[in-house]
Structure 1
Amino acid sequence: MTWRWLIGWLVIGIAALALRLYRLGDQSLWLDEGNSWAMAMQPWTVLLIDLIRPNAAYPLYHVILKGWMSLAGASEWALRFPSAIAGALSVPLLALAARRAVGDSPQRDAVTIAAALIGVCSPFAIWYAQEAKVYALVLLVSTAILWLTLRAVHEQRAQVWYWLIGLTVLALFIHRLTALLALSAGLVWLFSRPRRYTIPIAGGLLLIGLGMIGAMAAGIGSDRAASGASIAADPLTALWLTITRFSLDRWPGDFEWFWLVPWLLLFGLGLIGFARLPQSSRLVIGVMGSVPLVLFGVQLLFTRLYEARYLMIVFPIWLITLAIGVGHTNWRRALAWLMLTGVLTTSALALTQPRFGLFSGDPVKEQYREAIGELMRRVHPDDAVVVHPGYLRPLYDYYASRLSSDPAPQPISFANFWTGETSYTQREWDVERRAALTGYTRSWLLIAPDHARTVDPPRPGDEYGLVGNFWAFSREQRTWPCGIWRFQGVHLFCQEAPEAYITGEIVQPATPGNAVFGEQLTFLGYTLKATTPAGPGIYRAGGNIPLSLFWDVTQPLGEDYSLFIHLCRDCEQPPVASDDGQPLAGYLPTSTWLPGKPARDDRTVHLPPDLEPGHYQLLIGWYRPTDPTPDGRLPVRGEGALSAGRLWLTTIEVIAGEE
């Protein structure tokens, strides 16, 4: 191998790694990535036992991830880094496999370069290289198996076959679906050395393959029905969806139709070029591409549950076929290179496409980090937190501990509705909900609608099922809504006093107040809640100051005022932390308050993680939203009244946040 090629392989590897590391930690973990973290957090004994459990789909990945986490931590970037490395390593291997497939063809260099370029820029490959899941590793081992199989058939050396056997055994621990590649490699070996009993043995292997795909289909069906990640598709529809996913990592309708044209034309040229490959290469690519695809199509006849990532084992065949399309001669060469340019251009467009592109800057994964971050900036220690469906729990555990210095409330979850043989009904849900929420004055719902509807189906015209609707229609439950925040794939609801107000109990402030803002707005007092063992009044940097404010009016107000809460050390300077807005996030405007009907407003002041320890003053005040300057503030009189419409509540102590 010349220095030119060594430098070329180095450039390919660096380019592939750079793209896979770009913005690696920008997106929130989504559901399956949270499950990867939860699995890797299990004891070593559990993970090692999983290696020999037939129903563990990819046990070796969790062992690798746990070992890596012990060295690098568990940030989003660290969790995804092994996938980025595996994805980058698969690109040079892909180029080597393409080079081996065309043999001594004059276009060998062109095919090698084309395979490398397509592999480097592939949106489908980059997506899974930036995901804390096993599929980038599946791509790496599938490409390696393909390359070794091509070598074994071309060279007919026993040593290469032994390496191939060892790799296929290892691959079974990486993902059970690679058993289809092992089956394909066995068929290649049979047909590369035809014997008297080749056909019967091949038939037996295919029957074994049908048995494997049946077992896998049962596992896929139970797992994906729970999470709702699969879509229903027959084999022909699945084939079309696979083409669009393998090409642009998009579903039909999510891109301009003409973006797919260069991919289809180049693939067509590759199929034409397939006939010109050496016979041994045609055998390998034909068998290893068609057998897993056909067997996967068979399971679709029964389950209809389709996921493009389950076909990662044949993705290298797709890329090599595209690269072969570039290796034509004469008049087709210009067309092939034009199509390759189109493939690379549309790859860049797909990666940067607004709303969908991984490099667009838009959220394209479920935003659990943002939703749970909003929750942890607002939650009180005695609030109820409901996660729905219950299998969102790993994401809650992962982010709640990272986004606040305060202990997170233990989440509540409910059973699934009408799934399998169960008949969890609305009556049972009502009883369980009342029992779960009794005693709480405020509750939160963290819900992933796409996942929730698989276990709690909405009625026609509804956005949510029973659980989501209880919080979405708070007023109909005789409670107060206190906010809704919508993020990509996950929503957050707040509901005030779901039980105390229904029973008629009026919660009193722990510290009574005696002040009046303007002429009608009476401050009744406040309650500071504890977030540390030291009790109320001492809070951690990076945590919250949970505050409940109690109000009444002497007569109805004609305006909607906003409340500010300032935390300051030198209160003539801007506050070091604050909270600002209308009561209950705008759902209980002051113009709706009635005399003799006290209003309670639960607020939270989130403390910066780097806030210097010490003593700080807590001030409140009201102002007209049309004039947020001190001139627009309501004057205050009474105990604790300060200048500029501010009322002093108390002095609190901030301590360093926990490491």
Structure 2
Amino acid sequence: MACRPNSNIAGAIIARVMTHRQARVAAGACCAMAFLLATWTLDARSLWGDEAFSVWASQQPAMSLIAGLDAQPPLYHLLLGAGRLLWGKSVFALRYLSVCGGVLLVAVGARLGRLIGGASASAFTALLLAVSPISLYFAQEARMYAPAALFAGGAMLLAVASLKRQAETAGRGVQGWQRGAAYVLLSLGALFTHYYTAGVLLVNALALGMAALRSRGARRIVAWLVAHFSIALVFGAWFVGLQSRYASRAIAGRARIVPALEDIMSNFGVGVNGLLFGMRADGSLMAVALTLFALAVIGVIGYRRRGQFGDAWLILSWIVATLGVVAATAGRSGIVGDFSPRYYLFALLPLTLAAAGWVVRIEEALRRAARPSTSRLSASRLSSLPFAPVILIALAPAVVGDLQLFDLSWQKSRYDAMVGAIRARAQPNDGAVLVNSDQFPLLAYYGPLDMPVWIVGNDALNRDSASVEAELSRFAEGKSRLWLVNYGWAMALQPPSAVERALNQRGARTYAQGFQDVSLALYDLRFAAGDAPVQPRRVRFGEQITLVGARGRARPYHPGEAVTLDLIWRADQAPRADYTVFMHLRRADDGSQIAAFDSPPVNGAAPTSRWTPGQIITDTRAVPIPADAPPGEYNVVIGLYRYPTFERLKIDGGEATEHIVARVTIRSP
């Protein structure tokens, strides 16, 4: 009788443990939630460069893809081509294949969690996968990562099912050679979708091989040899015969294959941060991410406590192998040449299984509490086991990462808006110069532009300036205006290209705007100030810079044209900062402003912080006249300010910060 109260308490606790039926319902609910989250804002962001390349590649002949059109394996692009035929070419349709991969990965994780940890571990694993920021990120991207994670997860599931000899697998007709064939196909699917799935596949092969040897069954050993020889033969023959040139090229261009140790350590922190908090993870969260990662890995102790030593080692091996393959190749000093947290995506499923070990550990403690020998004190403590804290801690990164992911103010690219801006302002005799040939897939998807286009290849940027200027002159012949499109973050961080420098000399920039990873500028070749006489000036700004002259065209302007001036500056001393020049067009009668254009001197090619005392800088500037500008007299007003404080330089030691550099007349069209 003394044990009955303890048994009642423990029985009540165990009643709260999930049944297999409830786990299936929970897994279905998690799949539905993953689908809703993945499709919620699926087309709210435009395609970015890599996605556009995948779309372009999916339109190429299948044999070209198989023959090594891209450094990446071809399967995703082949599947995307089939998806375009099924669902269409909209942004939503192009990303839908990845949605399917992300949602099905939740189902695979639920089944794998059930095989290894039981019902509660199944629901816990499915929940973490459904709300994972990095999984949702790639479920919303038309790239190969979500399908590759699905194929790798499917191979892991069949490997575990084979190791455990699950009767329900045979009941569904996937047994013997059929299960082996499915395992081979999923493994090949993973390898032919992304190389970094090799880590989990290697662990699968070793685990199944050791099990076959321990069984001492000739049939199992032969089956293992046939399956893995088939995988090695098919993938190896393709890679060596058609794809090895990419690897050879990468090795030839690198001093080392394995990244330096400092790269590996730095990448590990960045990768774990992204794996838990998503691709937009804040670097300040890295310590938290590493702590949570360690806690998740420690969760495998829950399987060991239940005697599942093999499962615990298998999960740990999946994690270590996946991260190890990335560490051995990806990094600035490694063969891959770069690193991204996306390479850690294939460790997500085993990491969630490791975290589910905490649930397994709690369930095991509950079962021990049901024994008559359990003391009343122990049982009462078990009544408040930390189910809720474990779930809350596990979901915390998802909440933080998903809030960032679904912040629609963030865009990876706005190439679509850039193309729209050109179309809205295009005029006859316009041309477009696209610097960086990597943008051609984006133009192929969002274009075409109704004007001649010159795509400047990346190799052309390394030529001498004279040849670039000559080619630009040939392209500009007969054109009134040229649109300059600089694509890529690297272009934004580098000094102006030879093309941009040549355009700065040929015309006046009348418009400029940034669109995330692409910048747009319009150069008017008709209204350069030219060789008109220079009007001497002596206007000193902040005791650092003096306007010593200005040159313009004394003629009437019309709406749609541009007021163009040459401003001639002299550095009286080395300027203390980078200043921006503003040029405003205002009505002479009431001072109302109708147009403005701000930019650093020479369109950013000559920042003031690099000026030396006595240096003379000629800065050609233009402010566009709106199409609806009323006729009349207008003042052109200039000045300098420091960005981002907008603190203006004062003129001649006084309080004034603006100077009327010219007065122009605008007439009716």
Aligned residue in 2 for 1:189: 208
Distance across 2 between alignment mates of 1:190 and 1:341: 39
Residue 24 (structure 1) shift: 0.7
Change beyond 3 A, Cα 1:186–1:494: same
Aligned residue in 2 for 1:567: none
One of 211, 219, 234 as aligned partner of 2:263: 234
Distance across 2 between alignment mates of 1:254 and 1:336: 29
Residues 1:298 and 2:328 are matched in the alignment: yes
**Kept in 2: contact 1:58–1:175 (CA 8 A):** yes
Distance across 2 between alignment mates of 1:559 and 1:62: 50
- Percentage identity across aligned positions? 19
Letter in 2 for 1:411: V
TM-score, scaled relative to structure 2: 0.65
Change beyond 3 A, Cα 1:191–1:145: same
Residues 1:117 and 2:150 are matched in the alignment: no
**Kept in 2: contact 1:562–1:622 (CA 8 A):** no
Residue 149 (structure 1) shift: 0.9
Distance across 1 between alignment mates of 2:278 and 2:245: 24
**Kept in 1: contact 2:454–2:475 (CA 8 A):** yes
Give 3-state SS (helix, strand or coil) of 2:485's partner.
strand
One of 376, 398, 402 as aligned partner of 2:423: 376
Change beyond 3 A, Cα 1:272–1:431: farther
Letter in 2 for 1:278: Q
- Write the deviation string for residues 573-616 of structure 1: whole angstroms up to 9, x where unpaired: xxxxxxx99468679xxxxxxxxxxx9997898xxxxxxxxxxx
- Write the deviation string for residues 540-575 of structure 1: whole angstroms up to 9, x where unpaired: xxxxxxxx55899xxxxx993489xxxxxxxxxxxx
Aligned residue in 1 for 2:485: 446
One of 281, 285, 292 as aligned partner of 2:311: 281
Change beyond 3 A, Cα 1:219–1:82: farther
Distance across 1 between alignment mates of 2:296 and 2:402: 21
Give 3-state SS (helix, strand or coil) of 1:482's partner.
strand
Letter in 2 for 1:391: D
Bigger radius of gyration: 2
Aligned residue in 2 for 1:39: 57
One of 140, 153, 164 as aligned partner of 1:143: 153
Q: Equivalent residues in 2 for 1:197-346 (5 A)?
A: 218=247, 221=250, 234-250=263-279, 253-256=282-285, 260=289, 263-264=292-293, 266-273=295-302, 275-276=304-305, 278-300=308-330, 302-303=334-335, 304-329=337-362, 334=385, 337-346=388-397
Change beyond 3 A, Cα 1:562–1:158: farther
Residue 36 (structure 1) shift: 1.3
Distance across 2 between alignment mates of 1:264 and 1:376: 49
Distance across 2 between alignment mates of 1:224 and 1:646: 61
**Kept in 2: contact 1:50–1:56 (CA 8 A):** no
Give 3-state SS (helix, strand or coil) of 2:361's partner.
coil
One of 49, 60, 65 as aligned partner of 2:75: 60
Residues 1:364 and 2:448 are matched in the alignment: no
- Write the deviation string for residues 128-171 of structure 1: whole angstroms up to 9, x where unpaired: 00001111111111111111111111118634333212322333
Residues 1:425 and 2:443 are matched in the alignment: no
Residues 1:175 and 2:194 are matched in the alignment: yes
Distance across 2 between alignment mates of 1:9 and 1:125: 16
Structure 1 vs Structure 2 CA RMSD:
4.7
Distance across 2 between alignment mates of 1:210 and 1:286: 27
One of 428, 438, 450 as aligned partner of 1:408: 450
**Kept in 2: contact 1:172–1:179 (CA 8 A):** yes
Letter in 2 for 1:380: Q
**Kept in 1: contact 2:584–2:623 (CA 8 A):** no
Aligned residue in 2 for 1:8: 26
Distance across 1 between alignment mates of 2:283 and 2:302: 30
Letter in 2 for 1:309: R
Distance across 2 between alignment mates of 1:296 and 1:220: 19
Aligned residue in 2 for 1:480: 508
- Write the deviation string for residues 254-274 of structure 1: whole angstroms up to 9, x where unpaired: 454575377235314324335
Letter in 1 for 2:327: G
Aligned residue in 2 for 1:386: 433
Residue 7 (structure 1) shift: 3.0
Distance across 2 between alignment mates of 1:222 and 1:433: 36
Give 3-state SS (helix, strand or coil) of 1:360's partner.
coil
Aligned residue in 1 for 2:180: 161
Distance across 2 between alignment mates of 1:550 and 1:341: 60
Distance across 2 between alignment mates of 1:408 and 1:259: 51
- Write the deviation string for residues 619-654 of structure 1: whole angstroms up to 9, x where unpaired: 76358999xxxxxxxxxxxxxxxxxx996x6xxxxx
Aligned residue in 2 for 1:630: none
Distance across 2 between alignment mates of 1:646 and 1:54: 57
Distance across 1 between alignment mates of 2:113 and 2:593: 61
**Kept in 1: contact 2:485–2:519 (CA 8 A):** yes
Change beyond 3 A, Cα 1:400–1:191: same
Change beyond 3 A, Cα 1:154–1:52: farther
Distance across 2 between alignment mates of 1:370 and 1:174: 31
Residue 288 (structure 1) shift: 3.2
Residue 250 (structure 1) shift: 4.3
Residue 384 (structure 1) shift: 2.0
- Write the deviation string for residues 50-82 of structure 1: whole angstroms up to 9, x where unpaired: 236596623222222222223432221111111
The number of residues matched between the two structures is: 512
Distance across 1 between alignment mates of 2:280 and 2:421: 31
Distance across 2 between alignment mates of 1:522 and 1:55: 56
**Kept in 1: contact 2:152–2:186 (CA 8 A):** no
Q: Equivalent residues in 2 for 1:93-104 (5 A)?
A: 93-102=108-117
Aligned residue in 2 for 1:17: 35
**Kept in 1: contact 2:27–2:123 (CA 8 A):** no
**Kept in 1: contact 2:109–2:126 (CA 8 A):** yes
Give 3-state SS (helix, strand or coil) of 1:74's partner.
coil
Aligned residue in 2 for 1:70: 85
Residue 27 (structure 1) shift: 0.8
Aligned residue in 1 for 2:548: none
Distance across 2 between alignment mates of 1:175 and 1:559: 53
**Kept in 1: contact 2:72–2:194 (CA 8 A):** yes
TM-score, scaled relative to structure 1: 0.66
One of 378, 398, 408 as aligned partner of 1:347: 398
Give 3-state SS (helix, strand or coil) of 1:35's partner.
helix
Change beyond 3 A, Cα 1:562–1:499: closer
Distance across 1 between alignment mates of 2:479 and 2:466: 21
Unaligned runs of 5+ in 2: 1-18, 167-174, 366-380, 533-553, 565-582, 600-620, 636-665
Distance across 2 between alignment mates of 1:499 and 1:525: 12
Distance across 1 between alignment mates of 2:622 and 2:279: 48
